[in-house]
Every structure is written in C-alpha cells, then in structure tokens.
Structure 1
Amino acid sequence: MTDVLIAGSGPTGLTLACDLARRGIPVRVVEQREAPHRESRGKGLRPGSLQVFEELGVAERVRAAGRAGLVLRKYFDGEHVTDTPADDGLLIGQWQIEEALRDRLAELGVRVEYGARLAAIRQDEAGVEAELADGSVIRARYLAGCDGGGSTTRKLLGIPFEGHTAQEEAMVLGDVRAPGLSREFWHQWFTAEGGGILLCPMPGTDSFQLQAMPEVDERGATRPPSLEGFQRLFDRYARMPGIELADPTWLSSWRINVRVAARIRQGRVLLAGDAAHVHPIAGGLGMNTGIEDAAALGRALAAVLTGGAGEEVLDAYETERLAVAAAVVADTTQRYERVVEAVRTPGRGTEAGRDRDPYDLPAKPEPEQEP
C-alpha cells in the first residue's frame, strides 16, 4: 500500500507529488495518457506559484526555461497602436513546467505511470482501492484526483460539477510557427468590426501560441481549428502579407466553462485543480490556482500522515479551497467580460483582464460539457 495515489500528471498532480515525496511520504502518480504532451496550454506562472516551486526545488529550472518581461504589442485594424509591458509573472509553456516537475519527482524516486486509467474507486475505513482499466488494483491510504476538468475521479464518485458550459466555442488555439514575425512581442490584433487574433512567442521553441475568435461557416456554425483556418484568421486580422503560419503541433478550441465541484472531499478521496473547478481564462488564474490547491492539499495530507493531525485537517482543506474556487470563478468571470469589452478600444488588449500577469489558458484543450 502507498500513502497517496495521485490521478493526473498535470501541474496540479505533479506539484502535489513533489511536495509529498520531498516530505518522505510514499506516493504514486497514474496518468491515462500514454506519454507526456508538448503543448503550450497554460503558459505562465504567477508569483504565488513560483513561491511554491521555490519550496519544491523547481523554481530555478522553470525560470531558466521561461521568460520574464514580455511586451504586449497591440494593433487595431492592422495598425500598430501601442506596447504594454507585462512586468510580473513568467511566460513558459505548460509542457515545460510539467517536464521540470517530472524531473524533480524522478530525483525524489517517483516516476509517472502512463497508460493507467481509473475504472473504479472503492473505499473503506483504512484506505482506497483504485481499480485501473487493465484490471490491476492500487491500494492507498488516500487518493487525490488531479485529473482535469473531465475528471474521471470526480465522475466515479458521482460528485456534481455545478455551473454552466457555453454551447459554442469562444476561441480556437494552437501552437504554430510564424517565420518572419518578431519574437520580441506578444502580438495582439483587434478590429473595429470585432474579433481578433493573438500570437505569443513561446520560450525555448520557435513556435507561437495562437489564440483567435473561431471562424464560422455559411450556416453560422464554428469551424474546427486547422492550419488553413489559422492562416485565414491571421490574414483577416493581422493584415501582414508574407507571414505564412506553419507546422502546427497543437490544435484545439475552448468554450466558456464555469463550474465548481459540489464537494472536493469524499471520504479518503480529495480533488484539486481543474477536477475541482474550471472558469474563464482571464487573469492567469487557472493553472496557478491548481498549483496552490496542490500546495494546500500537500500540507493537509502531510499533517495527517506524519504530523498526527486528525481528519478535520482534510475538512479544512475542502472548506478553504472551495471558498477560493468560488472567489476565482467570480473574479475571472468579471475579468473576461472586461477583456471582451476593452479590445473594442484601440490600444487595449488582454491586460484589461489582469492585475499583474495575463498568461493563463485552460489546462485541458477542450473542457468537457457536463449534463
């Protein structure tokens, strides 16, 4: 039996695993993917996350891989209008964050177990049995569900994911190359007619993360993301002849998804990150809130497993982080509305939705709609 089984190897699950392992607590991490991804996804760290990573011994690695001090270059109707510095936060691809955390976890003697999908969860007074799709069973004292907005853990427990999901996609996104486009700026093009496209240079790569309003077909339905569609959107909004987008390594779409789990503790199973809450992207709070969830859950589990604390510590984790989730949902909803309105004004961009840094995107490429 292990002390803690973690489902999910995104930033939340890996942060929790590193925190527990450095405290000497036996931990296993299972991931339904067959291998790590290399997608930019959530692309930035706030100061609070960097502080957590300092404690884990990861901050130096992510700072070396990332970039601070990015400048937002704003265009309106094809004309350069203004530049705005983004002074706080660290720009870095989510895959690079996960790579740094996996390396640290390996140093602590733990490796992610890929191709391992949860199929059933059973609990008793002494622990949890997690049955995998291949029929094997892992016995643990606690299970942490850090497996994203479509969390299998949450669904197996029957925990309602309360809130709403928009029917239509609000954004297409992906990782592409744009030879000839300056990598010194996060380019943001908007127009008086509405809509726009953003290209952000990802450190340590020759690619940009693209975000844009989706195309619609002759029936008014949104088109799925594609390189050809990205090029049409770029030509429409950027109006920079000679720039040809190429080599897409990630194509996705995003819709507004605002939900919070009805509870994040059920016996010996606890939820964290997107498994517990999802919300609009404005403000760079999604991935970072998950990292802070993991730090709080790590402290709570350590107090119970090695500090002699009672189960009430885990109840306190639930109370604390559900309150944080509710506040983040309200905050990011307002931020998103501010951005949508602000970009109609020349010289305004994503900074309208932030206090400090604007880097976050959803941790899952397309959040799942719940009934």
Structure 2
Amino acid sequence: MAVPGPSVGDMDTQVLIVGAGPTGLTLALDLARRGVPFRVVDASSAPFAGSRGKGLQPRTMEVFHDLGVIGPVLESGRFDLLMRAYDGREVLREWNVHEGRHPTLERPYPHTMLIPQFRVEQVLREALPQPVEYGMPLTSFTQDDSGVTAVVGTETVRARYLVGCDGGKSFVRKELGVSFLGETWDDVRMLVGDVRVSGLDRDHWHMWGRQPERWLALCPLPGTDLYQLQATGDGDPSLELYQRIVRERTGLDDVVVHDATWMSLYRTNIRMVDRFRVGRVFLAGDAAHVHSPAGAQGMNTGVQDAYNLGWKLGMETLLDTYESERKPVAEWLLGMTTAIAQSGNPFDKRGDETLQLSLSYRTTEGEGLQAGDRMPDGITEQGRIFDLLRGPDFVTLDFPDGPVLVRPDGYVAAIGRSAIDAYFGANPVTQLHHRRVAARTAA
C-alpha cells in the first residue's frame, strides 16, 4: 500500500512529483534529504522494466555520489566495453569510444558507464524513505496563488508545487498548454528491446550491417543476462520479428534470440518546450525535451534537471533560475545529439561534450574556475572535495588562496569573500542552508 508523504499545513504535501522515471526519482531523493515532504505518483501499474536508456555520464555519477547512491550504481554497471563490427562472423573492426580517458583527481568518473535504466530506477527507489505510488494517473489539476490541486487516481491532492516528470507524452505539459516545438523524423525508426540471446560473448557491443537499413546492434546489459537489441526498421515489435532480424542480418544460425522482456518501436523526435515553469508547475526531463538517443544524453539530462530544481524547491527561492539555467542546456543538447545522429558515425570516439562535465551556468566569461562552473573534485587535508560537498547545503570551501562558495548542486555560486557576501545579500534565504569547511590542499 502506498504511504502518502506528510502534510504541510493545509497542504497534503509540499511537492507532488508526477512520473517515477530517473528524473522524478532523482528529484524525490534530493527532496527527501532536505526533509521536504513529497509524493511520487505514476500512472503505470508497476516500475518500468526496459532499458530505454543504458548510459550514465560522469556528471550523473557525480550527482549520484552526492545523493549517496553511487555504490550500488557502480556495482551494477560497466565502464569498458569494446565495440565490434562484423560481416557475418568476420570481425571488421574493434574499438573503444572512450579510449584514453582515465580517472583523475578532478574527474573521478572518466567516461560513460553502461547500466540499464531499470536498474538505475531500482537503486533510486530503494534509497527513498517512502514508496512510489503506482497505478495513480494524474487526470486534472488547477493552480492558484498558494498551491496546486490535483486529481490523482481517485484522490484529490493539494500540493504547494507540482513537477511533471511524466515523459515525452507528458500529460502535465499538455494540460499546461505549453508548446513542444520541433520535428519528428518519420523516416528514422528503430526497433529496440531487451532480449536473451545465445551465441554471443558479453565483452563486446556487437554490430552488423554496412547499409543503414540493415543495421543491427546487440549490447550486453551489465548485471543481467539480457542484451539490448537495436535495429533499423519498422513494424509491430514481436519476438518473431526480432528473431528474424537477427537471423537475417547476422547470417549466423548460432546467434539466436530466445525471448524478450521488453520491446518497442522508436521514432526520433527532436522537441523542447518554450517554458519550463508555469506558476507553481514545473516540467523536467523528457516532459521538457526529447531528442535523438545518440550520445546517451536523455536519462542524464533529466537527472540534471531534477538536481537543479530540487534545492530550489527545498528553499523555495531562486525558482525562476530553473528555467533560465536549464533551457539553454536543453537547446544545446538538441543541437549536439542531432549533430551526432547526422554524422553517420554515432558510435565513433566521443568528444568531451557528451560527458556533461563541461556544462556551465556561467553568466560571465573568464579563464579558470568561474561562478557557474562545475566544482571539480580533489583531495584536501580534510578529505575529498566531493565528500566535503556532500549534503543539501551551500558549502564555502576556505582554500588558502581564497574561499569558493558551492551551490547544493555542485556548481560554483561565487568566488572570493566580497562576491560570496554579495551572493548571500541578494539571496538571504540561501544563507540559512550554508556551512563552511576548511579546504587546505593536501601535501
């Protein structure tokens, strides 16, 4: 039985989160550590069981480090998996898209890690202090100056804020009347699914098909006995169709699909909203932006949306900056993933831009670390910087050459005493959620 979150005055909860994918679950976990009452509802009757996304970027792993779930995430994933292209049984090419990337003090998670989306969601759910409420579709909502009244299942819920994390077909977005501008590539369709296959090793991402219309990939999903199947094509997904595609495109009798736990037909949509906020209602993740899967950005960008919004909802301040900071990121994301998809080589060596470590909320330019940049990791006499920052607060790191104020989401708010004082002066509520840490550099 679902256990509603605690009430807040005349509210049933502070934040009603609609959608229990990676975006909604990340937001819930961030609110939970702040002691902010919330409820997570989802129209589905059970957790999503597929690997729609399967790549975690380094910045997302840094978020999960801060949220205290990086251990089970790392245990469930895999960093190094070679790509292998075939003509039948003949190996044409073998390569590593992340060759040369290794952990450093400033970047402890060096590159993309493979992990099925359903396992990421499971880790986040298990870390929550209350269960997700499944089988609870949102059917209507209205808002006023003090809150949102929503009908969820058969229940009317009053919340101070509502966040739509309900995917590309978002009910919340449609009810708000927010535009979802962009295009659909009707001529680009892909069959995807999670399948059990015999006849392949699990140390390579296997690919066939020199012609785009006969392309096939089978990627082992870490921690499971499944492979994710991706194949250009059309039609109603079925086990028989997937078996025929694998047989015809590999030309091998001993590579056999035995069953499938999830199947879907994917069409490339490249769209984003014109607004991330309407009053007390916010949009995040796929509800706000969808794009080509090239570059493994979707699940990660949704996590980043939630991480940016969580502390602002918790403090009920700087909420307008959610849109001003995340909308440019979404615009960049759509352009970058589209360029990769159109390159003709979406599985070639990736540039650093896909890792999401260089994303910044800068408002001014300059050399070196600036306000708006991601705070890099490092080692001090007091411990690892990421560990010193862990938690729901602003943190001032008092370095010998001057202090750096870091936001709860790991981005620099201000550098230098006068800039920090000015930041708190302009945002006095944030000082109530602040701690200072000496950060002398380790010898």
Confirm or deny that 1:244 pairs with 2:256.
yes
Match of 1:23 among 34, 48, 52: 34
Structure number with larger C-alpha Rg: 2
Q: What is the rounded CA distance, in whole Å, between the counterparts of 2:308 and 2:125 in structure 1?
A: 20
Q: Distance in 1 between matches of 2:176 and 2:341?
A: 31
**Superimposed CA distance per residue, residues 77-136 of structure 1 (whole angstroms, 9 cap, x where no aligned partner):** 65311211244221111000000000001xxx22101111111111111111111242x1
1:40 and 2:41 correspond: no
Letter aligned with residue 97 of structure 1: V
Query: Are residue 201 (structure 1) and residue 224 (structure 2) matched?
Result: no
Distance 1:122 1:143 in 2: 10
| Residue of 91, 114, 119 corresponding to 2:139 | 119
Once the two structures are superposed, the pairs formed by residues 213-228 of structure 1 within 5 Å of their partners are: 213-214=232-233, 222-228=234-240
Aligned to 1:364: none
For residues 162 and 353 of structure 1, do their structure 2 counterparts lie closer, same or farther at Cα, with a shift above 3 Å needed? farther
1:95 aligns with 2:106: no
**TM superposition shift of 1:235:** 2.2
Give the Cα separation in 1 of the matches to 2:23 and 2:136.
Answer: 17
| CA apart distance, 1:190 | 2.2
| Unaligned 5+ runs, structure 1 | 215-221, 343-348, 359-371
Aligned residues of 2:198 and 2:254 also touching (Cα < 8 A): no
Report how far residue 237 of structure 1 moved: 2.1
| 1:326 and 2:331 matched | yes
C-alpha displacement of 1:28: 0.7
Aligned residue pair count:
332
Amino acid at match of 1:351: D
Q: Partner letter of residue 219 of structure 2?
A: C
Per the alignment, residue 78 of structure 2 pairs with: 67
Say whether the 8 Å CA contact 1:169–1:253 is kept in structure 2.
Answer: no
| Separation in structure 1 between the aligned mates of residue 251 and residue 340 of structure 2, nearest angstrom | 28
Which residue identity lines up with residue 120 of structure 1 in the other structure?
S
Do structure 1's residue 10 and structure 2's residue 11 form an aligned pair? Answer: no
Counterparts in 2 of 1:193 and 1:319: CA distance versus 1, 3 Å: closer
Q: Give the 3-state SS of the residue equivalent to 1:166 in structure 2.
A: strand
Query: Offset at 1:20?
Result: 0.6
Pair 1:64–1:357, CA change in 2 (3 A): farther
Structure 2 contact 247–256 (Cα < 8 Å) conserved: no
Instruction: Give the TM-score normalised by the residue count of structure 1.
Output: 0.86
- TM-score using structure 2 length: 0.72
Structure-to-structure mapping, 1:42-57, within 5 angstroms: 42-57=53-68
**In the alignment, structure 1 residue 151 sits paired with structure 2 residue 170:** yes
CA contact (8 A) 2:148 2:158 kept: yes
1:212 is aligned to 2:217: no
1:217 counterpart residue number: none
Question: In the alignment, is the contact (CA less than 8 A) between 2:97 and 2:349 conserved in 1?
Answer: no
Residue range with higher mean Cα deviation, 250-259 or 66-75:
66-75
Using the aligned pairs only, state the percent identity.
Answer: 46
**Within 1, Cα distance between the matches of 2:49 and 2:297?**
21
| Offset of residue 193 of structure 1 | 7.2
Contact 1:77–1:191 at 8 Å: present in 2 too? no
Please name the residue that 1:369 is paired with. none
- Cα distance, 1:239 vs structure 2: 2.0
Find the counterpart in structure 2 of residue 166 from structure 1.
185
Q: Which residue of 2 aligns with 1:291?
A: 303
1:286–1:60: structure 2 CA closer, same or farther, 3 Å change rule? Answer: same
Structure 2: runs of 5 or more not aligned: 1-10, 99-110, 356-443
Q: What is the letter of the counterpart of residue 139 of structure 2?
A: A
After the TM superposition, which parts of structure 1 deviate over 6 Å for at least 4 consecutive aligned residues?
none
User: Could you tell me whether the CA contact under 8 Å between 1:283 and 1:355 is conserved in 2?
Assistant: no
Q: Confirm or deny: 8 A CA contact 1:62 1:100 kept in the other structure.
A: yes
